[in-house]
Every structure is written in structure tokens, then in C-alpha cells.
Structure 1
Amino acid sequence: MDTPGNPPRMTWHTTESPAGKSYFYSVAAYLIRVGAEPQVIYDPVSDLLGQFGPLTQSGRALRNDGSRRTNREGKVNIQVEVLGKAASPWTKGFDPAKKPNYRKLIAAGRAHNIPDDWPAGKPTASPSVSKKRDRNVWQTKGGHYGHCDVPGNDHWDPGAIDITIVPGKPPTGGSTPPASGGGTTAPSTTTTYTVRSGDTLSGIATRYSTTVAKLIALNALKDPNALAVGQKLKVPGKTTTPAAPKYEPFPGAAFFSPGRRSPIITAMGRRLVAVGCSAYSQGPGEHFTNADKASYAKWQRKLGYTGKAADGIPGKKSWDALKVPKQL
């Protein structure tokens, strides 16, 4: 991101296509083909949810505002392409209680500390409605935006969606971060969580129905990305046994072909760096490269593999030992 010191946001689009499972994969393939991927695609009919890349990295669904790269605005800019048309708001008749993947998507935004606000107001109901694309608001306020709010762009999607549904109310016992900074209040009760291999702060926050900001404040963390296995963290709530972390299942050796693009590749690379097996000069990224292969070969040798067995291509046993976090 170009401006990681600016507030986090989530930007909503519509694909201007019909919705439904039969369109989901073809629209996703089209976005890849034309190089206009967001981070996430969602179908409100089938509740299918797809992810093109890491939520913390730039999408490609917005035009630049002059020299300002709007895709890279803020700490995160999680862009969501929703199957549907702006002229027929997809939230009409939509029940979040029946859509578990939609709730996971909103939870992911909250885990990245995105406020439950619409700083630029409700999205427009018609392309004929004039709406100021305020650069100051866009660059300085965290929260939810429509494509219609982004400077340098001329689309009016996602249409007049119901902002009581998007993002909706936070879950009971959780909270939404403040829209414009300010302090955080420590929960009345806390317990201790021991960091496990593969844990991320956002994953721990989601597990305890809290926010990353509260965990940072509660533990006075200087670098929230530098968690250490065995580290003790204060977390809100009574003592519970947290759910076991979820790891990516082995996708098969054929998955790791040259040029393969997937957020799983990025997650694997980050784990290789974390376990001291990096051969990266930059990245890791979402394409499977020779640097990934060299890094994985280091991991195999660390596990005791020798000779041709340390070929840099993941196998199930070494993959399971690496514990790559499950991607949204």
C-alpha cells in the first residue's frame, strides 16, 4: 500500500452482471483476464466467496486519481466485487443471517480495523445523481465506500445498497473501531492466549470477537506483525479454550507449477520467511517463482530432506509441518 499510515477502508463494487452460482466463476475468470481483480468477489445469491489475493495488498479494480494510486490508498483497501447490477441493489431481500460467507467477509474487514461507517454517505441511487468524490474524505477517513465515492473514477456502483446491512451491526460482545482514531477501552475481563505457530493478530481478534486495535492497545504491541510462538497475549473475555487454528490443506504437488497465482502461495512464502527459510530478494508474492522453490527447498532441508528429496516442490508431509494459515 502507498499510504499505510492512512485509515483502512473497504470499497464496494458491482460486476454489472447477473448474480448466481452459474456466473460466479466466469465473472471471476473475466476479472483476471482483463487485469481488474479486486481482493474479493462475492455472490449474494449463492453466498459464494472468492479471494484473488491478500487483503493487505493492492487490488486492481479502481482507476488512479492522477498520480494517486487509489487501489493502494490506506492501510488496507479491501475491494469487493458483488455479483449484481447497481440499478437493482443486491441488498434488497438479502438476509445476512442466512449468509455465513457474507458474515465472514464483514468479520475480515473488522479484523483489519475498518470502521462500520460510510464517511462519504450512502452510495448513489442513480447515475444521474451528482455526488462529490471528496479527495479529503477519501484519503483521511476510514470505513466503507462505494465505487461511486472514489476520486478519479466515474462508475456509480454499487447503487443504493442498504447500509444497515453493509456492514450491519457488529456481533454481540464485539465492537467496531472508532471512525477517526481515539483511544480504546480495555475490556472488563481478560484472559491469556498463548500464540501458536501460524497465528496472526487478525485471526486471534476474530476468534475472540474483538478488533486488532484492541489487542494492540491491550498488549502495548509495537509491531503487531511480529508475533512469536509461545508469546502470551491478553485477550478479552473469560478463560476459554480457543478453537484450533485452521491451516491450508495440501493442494497437491501439481498446484505448484511455474507462474501459479494464488493467495496460498503468498501465505506459504510468509511462513517460509517466518521459519527462517527465505531465499527471497523481494516478496513473497502470489505467483509461484524460483524464489519460492528455493525457499521451500531450504525448508525441506531443515526437516532433514537430502538430495533430490529437497527439490523445492511441496509434498504433503512437509506442507503439513509448515502450517500455512487458512486463507479467507
Structure 2
Amino acid sequence: METTVSDLWMPGAERFSIGNTAPADGGPAKAIAHITWDRNASKAKPQDLVPYANLRSYFGDNVSGRAVAPHLLWDPFTGKVVQFFPANSRSLSLSDRAGGTRTNRAGSVVIQVEALFFPWCRVGGKTYESLVDTPCKGWDGLHAWVASWGVADCWPMGKPNGFVSKRDERIWRIRSGWYAHSQVPENDHTDPGTWADFTVNKVKPALEPFPGTSFFMSGSKPALGKSSSIFTAMGQRLVAEGCGLYKEGPGPELGQADIDSYEKFQRKLGYTGPDAKWPPGPASWAALEVPNV
């Protein structure tokens, strides 16, 4: 599968590479939801939100901040996002005890998102008790990019609802999806309290989102015989691109002609060797422009 630099960095986000990259360990793709929780406010005593620029500088320029930096800092009030690590690197926002699960690396990706927020913060004269009370600007684009890395649209330990801890290391080991900071083994934080819905302000895109590498595979082999309207739409686009090698079809069952045709399309894009082989990757899928089905 091909991997390109543009895939590693969220489109539209500021790229602020701080180096110190390291690979993930493999396993179910995960995303971790945090809030920055910079101040302790209350309903009786709300406090002004810490400026986005302060947190950007803390994680990007400060030695202490770099030691706990996430992949992404997201401002749900403005939609601004800055990214400090590429998607395929571990970041550092989780506590990681020696000898246990390597929390920051426990997946094919472990994408960590810090939302700029604390309970009872004040923005523009208005007070916000929970993250879901904010406009959640930029969430749809952020969510789509995370999903493109194979992170399932689910909360394996339950969607966060309050500042409580719930940890199950067995689930953590075997399930892809979104996890609250409060649900990660070896961590004692209780954030984020709440999080945006996967469907918030969601408009069906014109193009089929990348369904993740696992969609195209059955273990280590192509998922031959799997049926989906996505394969039909994919095959039709491959034909339109002059790469169709079909005697019949395409679709809806995945067949060898689909694989041969897609590999021909990847060669057309300039990929060679293993990068031109099945399964599809996010970059070539985006280039194919498969209509949303």
C-alpha cells in the first residue's frame, strides 16, 4: 500500500513538526480524545479560555510541552488545527508505564487529539460547561482524516459521558475505535467528559471516503468474494481511467480483475514495486475519486 507525505498530515491543518518521531507497534487503529483542561473553573467562577496560540507554543516550542505533545491540537471554537507528529508516529500525551502496554504506540496508529477546552470556560462572554456545547468547528474534517487511517467510528468502551474512568485492557488490545483519555490503561485522567458525535454537521460527501485498508483484505490476503457496492463504483472508475481489466462486471463482488485493475491504476499514478500492489491506500483512493454510494 502506498504512503505519501500528504497522507501523514491532516489536510487543512497547520503542520508544526517537532521531530522525535517513533513507529507505532501495530494492531487495531485507535484515536484518543483529550481536552487540554488548562484551568480549573466552575459554574460559579468561569474562566476565560486559554488562547490557542499559547497551547500551540506550549506543545510546539516548550521542552516540557513537547514531552507530552499530541498529534493534533484542535480549537473547537474556531476550527483551527495544528499537527505536531505525522499520523504513523506515536505521540506522547498518554502515560506509559514501563513493562505494560505501550499506550502511545498500541495500534497501527494511535492518533491523539487534544481539544482546546476546560469545563466552564468562557469565550466571547459565553460560558461552556461541556465540549459538546461548543460549536465543534472543524470536527468533520478532523474526524474524516482520522477515519482515513482505519480508526473505526465507535467507542469500544462507551462514548464519554462525564468525568469518570472506565478501563478494560482486553478491549483496548483488540478493538479499533475512539477512546477517551479516561479509558486508556495506565492513565488516571478523567477527560474529556464529552465528545462530538461522528455525525455532527455531517453532509454526505460526493466521493466515497477511504474505507480503511482492512476493508479490502481478509487477514493478510485480498478479500476475494466480498460483496459491496463500493467495489462496483470503484471498478467503474477504474474503467473510466483506462485501467479496467474486466471481462465481466465490475462488482459487486471483489475479484482478481478488480485487484489487477487497481494495481494498474496505481502504476498509472507512478507507484512502483510494493507500493503499486493491493490493497488501495488513502492517496490513490482519493485520486480515483470513487462516487459516494
**Which TM-score band applies after superposition, normalised by the shorter structure?**
0.5 to 0.7
Alignment correspondent of 1:158: 192
Q: Is contact 2:24–2:89 with CA below 8 Å preserved after alignment?
A: no
- Inter-partner Cα distance in structure 2 for 1:60 and 1:43: 19
In the TM superposition, what are the counterparts of 1:226-245 in structure 2 within 5 Å? 228=267, 229-230=269-270, 235=288, 237=290
Q: Is contact 1:12–1:147 with CA below 8 Å preserved after alignment?
A: yes
Q: Is contact 2:70–2:93 with CA below 8 Å preserved after alignment?
A: yes
- Inter-partner Cα distance in structure 2 for 1:47 and 1:167: 13
For residues 3-59 of structure 1, the C-alpha deviation after alignment (integer angstroms, 9 at most, x for no partner) is: 21x111111100013799971121122224211110110001111110102011110
Q: CA deviation at 1:230?
A: 3.5
Q: CA deviation at 1:154?
A: 0.4
Alignment correspondent of 1:308: none
Q: Is contact 2:155–2:178 with CA below 8 Å preserved after alignment?
A: yes
Q: Is contact 1:38–1:79 with CA below 8 Å preserved after alignment?
A: yes
For residues 194-245 of structure 1, the C-alpha deviation after alignment (integer angstroms, 9 at most, x for no partner) is: 7xxxxxxxxxxxxxxxxxxxx9x99549xx9xx654459784636xxxxxxx
- Inter-partner Cα distance in structure 2 for 1:185 and 1:236: 17
Q: Is contact 2:148–2:210 with CA below 8 Å preserved after alignment?
A: no
TM-score by length of 1: 0.53
- Inter-partner Cα distance in structure 2 for 1:142 and 1:167: 24
Q: 1:191 aligns with which of 233, 237, 242?
A: 237
Q: Is contact 1:123–1:161 with CA below 8 Å preserved after alignment?
A: yes
Question: Structure 1 pair 30/56, CA: closer, same or farther in 2 (3 Å)?
Answer: same
Question: Structure 1 pair 134/170, CA: closer, same or farther in 2 (3 Å)?
Answer: farther
In the TM superposition, what are the counterparts of 1:31-180 in structure 2 within 5 Å? 31-32=59-60, 33=62, 34=64, 35-67=67-99, 68-85=101-118, 88-94=129-135, 99=137, 101-126=138-163, 129=164, 131-164=165-198, 171=205, 174=208, 177=211
Q: Which amino acid aligns with 2:148?
A: A
Question: Structure 1 pair 165/185, CA: closer, same or farther in 2 (3 Å)?
Answer: closer
SS of the equivalent of 2:173 reads: helix
* 5+ residue gaps, structure 1: 195-214, 239-328
Q: Is contact 1:2–1:74 with CA below 8 Å preserved after alignment?
A: yes
- Inter-partner Cα distance in structure 1 for 2:112 and 2:70: 5
- Inter-partner Cα distance in structure 2 for 1:218 and 1:186: 16
- Are 2:83 and 1:30 aligned? no
- Inter-partner Cα distance in structure 1 for 2:142 and 2:51: 20
Q: CA deviation at 1:164?
A: 4.9
SS of the equivalent of 1:191 reads: helix
SS of the equivalent of 1:79 reads: strand
Question: Structure 1 pair 20/184, CA: closer, same or farther in 2 (3 Å)?
Answer: farther
SS of the equivalent of 1:26 reads: helix
Q: Is contact 1:13–1:157 with CA below 8 Å preserved after alignment?
A: yes
- Inter-partner Cα distance in structure 2 for 1:71 and 1:166: 27
Alignment correspondent of 1:260: none
Higher mean alpha-carbon deviation, 78-87 vs 169-178, is at 169-178
Q: Which amino acid aligns with 1:148?
A: S
- Inter-partner Cα distance in structure 2 for 1:38 and 1:218: 42
* 5+ residue gaps, structure 2: 1-22, 40-46, 121-128, 219-225, 242-253, 277-283
Alignment correspondent of 2:17: none
Higher mean alpha-carbon deviation, 17-26 vs 57-66, is at 17-26
Question: Structure 1 pair 176/26, CA: closer, same or farther in 2 (3 Å)?
Answer: same
Q: Is contact 2:31–2:177 with CA below 8 Å preserved after alignment?
A: yes
Q: CA deviation at 1:2?
A: 4.2
Question: Structure 1 pair 65/118, CA: closer, same or farther in 2 (3 Å)?
Answer: farther
For residues 291-328 of structure 1, the C-alpha deviation after alignment (integer angstroms, 9 at most, x for no partner) is: xxxxxxxxxxxxxxxxxxxxxxxxxxxxxxxxxxxxxx
Superposition CA RMSD, Å: 4.1
